[in-house]
Amino acid sequence: MIPPNVPPSEEPTPSPEPGPEVERVDYEVSLRSLSQWELVWRKFRRHRLALFGLGILGFLIFVALVGPIFLPFTSVPPRPEQIVITGRPPFCLKFDLASHVCTKAALMHPFGETGGLQSDVLMLVVNGARTSLFLGFTSMAIGVGIGTIVGAIAGYLGGFVDNLLMRIVDIMLSLPLLFVILIVARFFKGAQDNAWSIILVFGLLSWMGVSRLVRSLFLSIREREFVEAARAVGVRDRRIIFKHILPNALSPIVVVASLLVGANISGEAFVSFLGFGISPSTPTWGNILSNALGYIAQGNWWWPVFPGLAIILAVLGVNFVGDGLRDAFDPRSRE
Amino acid sequence: MTKFVVRRLIQAVPVLIGISIVIYAIMLSVPGGPTQRFANNPRITQEQRDKFLQAWGLDQPIPVQYCRWMGLCDPNQSGLAFLTKSGVPNFLPAGIGGGTNGMLHGDLGYSIDSGESVATRIGAAALPTLILAGTALFLWLSAAIILGVIAAVRRYSFFDQAATVFSYVGFALPTFWLGLMLILIFGASLKILPVSGMIDTRLSPPFGSAQYWAYFGTHSGAAIIDILRHLILPVITLVVVSIAGDSRFVRASMLEALGQDYVRTARAKGLPARTVVFRHALRNALLPVVTNIGLEIPFLFSGAVVTESIFSWPGMGRLFINSVADFDYTILMGILLIASVLTVLANLLADVLYAVVDPRIKY
Amino acid sequence: MHKRLLGLLASSVIVFAACTSNAPASSTEVSTAPATEPPPTTNPIDISNTAYAPATGKTGGQIIFGDWQEANEFNPYYYSQVTEANVASAVWASLTIATNDYKTVPDLAKELPTTANGEVKVPGDGSDKMTITWTLKDGLKWSDGQPLTCDDFAFTWKWITDPGQAGVVTVGWESITAIDCPSPTSIVMHFKDIYEGYLGLGTPLPKHYMSNISIADGLNHKGFKPADMPNVPTSGAFKFESVTPGQELRVVRNDNYSGFISKHPAYLDRIVWKWYGEEQAMIAGFIAGEVDIATDLVETDIPTFETAGKKDDLSNVNSLSYEYLALNWADGTKRDATSGLGQCSQNAEVADRGKNSAGSPCPVADPEFRRALTYAIDKNDIATRILGGYVKVANTNISPDDYYYADQTPATLDPAKAQSILDAAGWKVGADGIRSKDGLRAKIELCSTTKPTRVDSLKLIADELKGIGIEAIAHNVSAADVFNSYNEATATEPCNIYRGNFDIAEFTTSSSVDPIVYYSSYHSSQFEPKGGNIAQISDPGIDTALDTVKNTVDLATVVKAMGDFQKIYVEKTVEIPLFYRAQLDAVDYSKVGNFFGNPTSAGPTWNVVDWFVKS
């Protein structure tokens, strides 16, 4: 679910102008200045959770790209030897619904089978990875992109422009998610066939929080001495915005972006639950999870748990990486 | 600052009008409407449906409907009738010959579904939502602050990392799934907690009714325990999912505060760690958190939609979902209007608090 | 929420039966018919000898009834959802009532009017086509003590047929030219047409309460708002105590009503309706013991009760609803571009199928194509794999419990036969395995809603059709598009059935105890928007049979005509029924006595007068 608001600011941390760094190595003394990015990477590397998160993300992306080759998506699975309306648990050949006991195990369906047509849950989760991850990152990119630009302009220019933009933000913020989804669904008929309508909806609904955050950062940073200095020297506004202020505002934006990816991925489950999700012929973690709802009470734990775990892993991964980046950009964090 | 606030309040009026126009226009141009209820009954002829729309004034063009809803137009005449039959502008009070309809006269209209006045219906739903979302907000903020402070003070420790993991896992859980699981485990299987509603139907009258307050007067203890028992599961659902956002924020804010020079000074002076953390750092760290709360107020009213629906909690969120499904325009507009007023005020509050907290910000 | 929308629509379909047949059963038994009709040759069919015999209970107690859709509309002529029908059944009585065994018994009336007892006259008195005389029971009173007389029925008729009225089914009532009241208990209805559903014309509205409310105000719920409900006089077993929107509704015993079989007022003191937000939450609530009865369930919920050990708490009766594949008969050659009349699927994905030499882009219009479909679709597979075997495969649209049901030879699964039918009809297999005939490719659109069971069944069907050389594109769209009303939909709205934008569509509809219902769905004069013939079926044999049914009150004639109809239904493959739905309620039988599920329009609350709490 989309967080009700994006935390408007983890307080902006000023970073001093980059200067030479001394690197100590045994038996040798060398003077080499590390670039900003190398610094960041070094600090990131020390952050265990962040590396772990990077590993998770990498694994998920790998599965999304390669998995469907080994487990192609079939919409109609072959007729199973045992028809159970609830589906069968992992590694189970014969399942007794009354006693919920697997009477005969077998090396098949490591994630179990869904209810209804009894599709393989592993196959669904692997194929769903693509759409879910794509959805999460793309809608974040749209939201952060628009939000940063709007917030930067509003925060830097101030005055009338700031007012106008923020009032527009107010109007957009008043539109509840459910309402907007309904409108989009009714206006763009046939939109359920692909993920773009959801991506658009999430993107268009998340930029407001980002813009408020960026605006407050800019309002604060633009009063600093180095900005004044840049202006005094005659640097153009656009350059000031993008080359001077924005890099200093990066770390909270990164955290927010990572939160957004997670929110969008699990928000997709919410939208599927409401009935406006992507049509089930394209599996996503969200719509697999919401289709499972009617069967949980029948003891079918495996159908929702595995896509749920996938969502959790993706959210964890992306947020750990975001945390790591945030700490890495913060010059005061210890190595 | 005062000038700023006054200016913003004045600006709020056209913003709200703008919001209401946008929402109204979008809502009414979406195909399908209250006649959806007849959609599956082929014996209701199109003529019947047209008459139904006419009776509710829904066959008028959108600008006319909006105008009447605002109270600028007289509904008893056709078209855009800005003047009443007595020649007085409609938006003036009825006492001097104006109209009685619409927002400008405090009339939010009547529900298309039940005929009840919108104000009554929303009013009845507001208290339950306040109770649920208010309790949840208080609890998750407290938990977020505690978690955030400890995580910041013991940065990179096992606790910090465990708290990080826990809060992100909670954040990733879809509310509907968590809610349903809690219902199944604690309600259907273990049977120790109630599954729905605010009160036990076998014991007490429905919440909010006159009989209920009478019952509450005589059986206060039992009534309070009843509501508390019903609050447990929905509040847990809301809290678990929302802690993450705020606890990370508190943590970052604390880290920022702990890195300040005055904290270093305090430590150098030899003050005990607890004093440093709570008396010096925390109070400053909380200021941005507090400004954040302003933005979470709209969530109080529309954010708990799914949770209220799953737990059959009779609040605004559930009312909202139901009216969206039935296209009950009048109630929808009422709820959206309240939500937008709250949003505008909350944003204003947050902006004011930013400036108070961070003297570098100038408006 | 899709569940909500779907539930609303699915249940509205069931209410289709309710609204269309205020007549739960057809006309009277055979006997001295007018001389113009041939003498009957079959045995008289008795429609009122019900086997319903309630147990005796004790007075007192309350029962909690759970539903996941809220009832807001309490006027018995305005409701549109099943949940509202359930409430209405408990508080409003009619002249007759439909029992759980499809029989009709008198409720407010003393006896059923028949031609035998002279109370039905065809042709009628004077210039009437038909005259019906009802005799009310003696001493009938509303719940507030006012007498219930013929005046209330006369008022009701005027109210329904008022030109300013909206959203009311006027069928049957509009055939009445006048209602006379020779005495307070005697109602004489004068008809200008023969309306054979007359037994259903009979829920009186309280004149003394409603005569002061204008029709226009009534449409705005005046007098029926939640705060007003305790003051509304009712005629049935219960009356309103309180209505709390969003939470619950309470009704208490109406001492002025006596049961239709048991002849005494209700046992229960009170029934409380509790509104849940989600179906799964309601089921959990039932299992947890929060409610005594839970209604509006679906077949795939049955294992949930098995898992919880409450399998025996399910009341499972054959419902009058069935799930079927509507086959669009239109051939697309005379398509009206603005209204969409005469079209088949306009979906861009199937647009490349081309047209045959007659200019038709619609493969389903070919009767042999349709016939082949019946042999290719595995109904058993759908019933077992997707619905867990909890439904009964259907081969006709008429429920086997309807009195006019005629057995037909069911189609058997035979893909080889399907292939040979297609070959013989000229559908030749192409290089890619897909057939085409005369330049038209065998490519069709399968439409349905997003309900998971329908998503699965369309997948299965598409797979099976591929096996016989038909390319089928499954398209599951939101119910709001599929069922969007004619006026609000456009000709190209995805899968909209009222505009005919489909080749094959899967959804649920109802048969009825009253066969007058089929006229609107199958007669060639009843294409949208005039009637409900969404599949644009046009067959002279069907037209003749349905015309006969419409214009007679003689039961034997009806049975014969419906027999003809059902024969053509199979021969010409009018549509493909898949399975009969079940009507499921969860009942705590250890607490509730005399609960019997009722698939007719009367619903599960038909006999609340006899419900009691077991000790």
Give the model confidence (pLDDT) of C192-212 as tens digits. Answer: 988 878 888 889 999 999 999
Chain-centroid distance, C-alpha C394 = 17
**pLDDT level of residue C459 (50, 70, 90 thresholds):** very high
A187 interfacial to chain B (CB closer than 8 Å): yes
Rounded CA separation B256/B268 (Å): 18
Percent over 90 (pLDDT), chain B: 13
Q: What part of B 331-360 touches C (C-beta under 8 Å)?
A: none
Residues 62-91 of B with CB under 8 A from C: none
Give just the sign of the alpha carbon dihedral C207, C212, C218, C220: negative
Query: Whole-number mean pLDDT of chain B?
Result: 81
Nearest to C219 among B35, B43, B52 (CB): B52
Residue written as token pair 């005469």: C342
Q: CB–CB of C478 and A185 under 8 A?
A: yes
Q: Say whether A171 and B298 touch across the interface (CB within 8 A).
A: no
Q: Cis (ω within 30 of 0) for the bond into C123?
A: yes
Look up residue A22 and give its DSSP letter.
E
Please indicate if any CB of chain B lies within 8 Å of the CB of A316. Answer: yes
For C101-123, the DSSP string reads TS-EEESSBSS---TTTTSEESS
Alpha carbon distance B285, B277 (integer Å)? 10
Measured between beta carbons, the chain A residues lying within 8 angstroms of C493 are 189
d(CA A166, CA A158): 10
Q: How confident is the model at residue C292 (pLDDT cuts 50, 70, 90)?
A: very high
Nearest to C87 by CA among C73, C108, C99: C73
Which pLDDT score, from 0 to 100, does residue C187 have? 93
Pair of tokens at residue A59:
């694994």
Model confidence band, residue C444 (pLDDT cutoffs 50, 70, 90): very high
- Cβ burial, residue B101 (10 Å; 0-12/13-18/19+): buried
Q: Residue length, chain B?
A: 363
Task: Report d(CA A63, CA A83) in Å as an integer.
Answer: 30
Instruction: Determine the residue of chain B that is closest to A171 in CA distance.
Output: B19
Does C5 contact A275 at a Cβ distance shorter than 8 Å? yes
Interface confidence (ipTM) of the complex: 0.85
Which of C303, C462, C474 has its CB closest to that of A86? C303
Q: Using a CB-CB distance cutoff of 8 angstroms, which residues of chain A are in contact with residue C455?
A: 279-281
Please tell me the predicted confidence (pLDDT) of residue A279. 77
What backbone phi and psi angles, to 5 degrees, belong to C308?
A: -85, 0
Rounded to 5 degrees, φ, ψ at B25 are: -65, -45
Residues of A (99-138) whose Cβ lies below 8 Å from C: 100, 115-118
Q: What pairs with residue C575 in β-bridges?
A: C326
Residues in a beta bridge with C440: C437
Strands C612-613 and C592-593, by their bridges, are antiparallel
Interchain CB contacts (distance < 8 Å): A and B: 179
List the single residue in C with minimal CA-CA distance to B57.
C220
- pLDDT greater than 70 at residue C316: yes
From chain C, the residues in CB contact with B58 under 8 A are: none
- Tell me: pLDDT of C110 over 80: yes
Distances, alpha carbon C96 to alpha carbons B61, C107, C253, C259, C317, in Å: 44, 5, 20, 12, 22
CA distance C419 to C414: 9
In single-letter form, the type of residue at position B291 comes to T
Sign of CA dihedral A217, A220, A223, A224: negative
DSSP state of B38: G
Token couple for C573 = 């493959």
Give yes or no for a contact between A137 and A261, defined as CB atoms under 8 angstroms apart.
yes
Q: What is the pLDDT of residues C582-604, one digit of tens each?
A: 889 999 999 999 999 988 877 89
Looking at beta carbons, which residues of chain A come within 8 Å of C459?
75-76, 117
In chain C, residues with a C-beta closer than 8 Å to the C-beta of B177 are none
The yes-or-no verdict on residue C240 having pLDDT over 80 is: yes
Smallest Cβ–Cβ distance between C459 and the set A100, A117, A274 belongs to: A117
| Interface list for A 258-297 with C (CB within 8 A) | 273-276, 279-281, 291, 293-297
Q: How far apart are CA A65 and CA A73, in angstroms?
A: 13
CA dist., res. C96 & res. C100, Å (int): 13
- Cβ <8 Å between C304 and A297: yes
Residues of chain A neighbouring C456 (CB-CB closer than 8 A):
116-117
Chain C residues inside the 8 Å CB shell of B311: 277, 281
Q: If you ran DSSP here, which 8-state letter would residue A245 be given? A: I
Look at residues C15, C68, C73 and name the one whose alpha carbon lies nearest to residue C599: C15
Residue C478 predicted with pLDDT over 90: no
Residue A296 sits at the chain B interface (C-beta within 8 Å): yes
Whole-structure pTM value: 0.85
> Does residue A10 contact residue B253 with C-beta atoms inside 8 Å?
yes
Contact between chains at A297 and C477 (C-beta distance less than 8 A): no
Is C455–A86 a contact, with Cβ atoms under 8 angstroms apart? no
Residues 6+ apart with CB under 8 A from B331: B111, B112, B113, B118, B121, B122, B319, B323
C510-530 residue pLDDT tens: 877 778 888 888 999 888 877
Q: What is the DSSP letter of B276?
A: I
Please give the C-alpha separations between residue B40 and each of A153, C170, C480, in angstroms, as whole numbers. 51, 16, 11
Q: Which residues of A touch C308 (CB under 8 A)?
A: 297
In the prediction, which pLDDT does B70 show?
80
Indicate the pairing of strand C392-393 with strand C575-587. Answer: antiparallel
Q: Is A323 on the interface with B (CB under 8 A)?
A: yes
Q: How far is C103 from chain A (nearest CA, A)?
A: 35
Where do the H-state alpha helices sit in C177-260?
207-210, 215-219
Is residue C273 a contact partner of residue C255, using CB atoms and an 8 Å limit? no
Report yes or no: B116 at the C interface, CB cutoff 8 Å: yes
A132 Cβ partners below 8 Å, 6+ apart? A265, A268, A284, A285, A286, A310, A311, A314
Q: What angle do CA C295, C300, C301 make, to 5 degrees?
A: 45
CB spacing of C280 vs A85 below 8 angstroms: no
pLDDT at residue B33, rounded to an integer: 66
Query: Which chains lie within 8 Å of chain A at 3 or more CB pairs, if any?
Result: B, C
Chain C residues within an 8 Å CB radius of A296: 280
Q: Nearest-CA neighbor of C601 among C245, C265, C197? A: C197
* A169 contacts on B by Cβ (under 8 Å): 347
Best to test chain A binding among C391, C459, C475, C496 (most A CBs inside 10 Å): C459
A3/B contact by beta carbon, under 8 A = yes
C280–B125 CB contact, under 8 Å: no
- For residues A182 and A192, is the Cβ–Cβ distance under 8 A? no
Residue among C323, C464, C446 nearest C393 (CA): C323
> Considering only A42-56, A123-137, A180-194, B231-245, which range has the smallest mean pLDDT?
A180-194
Determine the pLDDT at residue C39: 36
Q: Chains with ≥3 Cβ pairs under 8 A against C?
A: A, B
How many whole angstroms separate alpha carbon A123 and alpha carbon A100? 24
For C309-322, give the secondary structure using H, E and C. CCHHHEEEEEEEEE
Sequence-separated (6 or more) residues with CB below 8 Å from residue A157: none
* pLDDT tens digit sequence for A42-99: 777 777 788 889 999 999 999 999 999 998 998 888 888 888 888 899 998 888 877 8
Distance from C-alpha of C515 to C-alpha of B226, rounded to nearest angstrom: 52
Q: A155-162, long-range: CB within 8 Å, 24+ apart, which pairs?
A: A155/A214, A155/A215, A155/A216, A155/A217, A155/A218, A155/A219, A155/A222, A156/A218, A156/A222, A156/A237, A156/A240, A156/A241, A156/A245, A158/A219, A158/B363, A162/A215
- Ramachandran bin of C249, using left for φ above 0, alpha for ψ from -120 to 50, beta for the remaining angles: beta
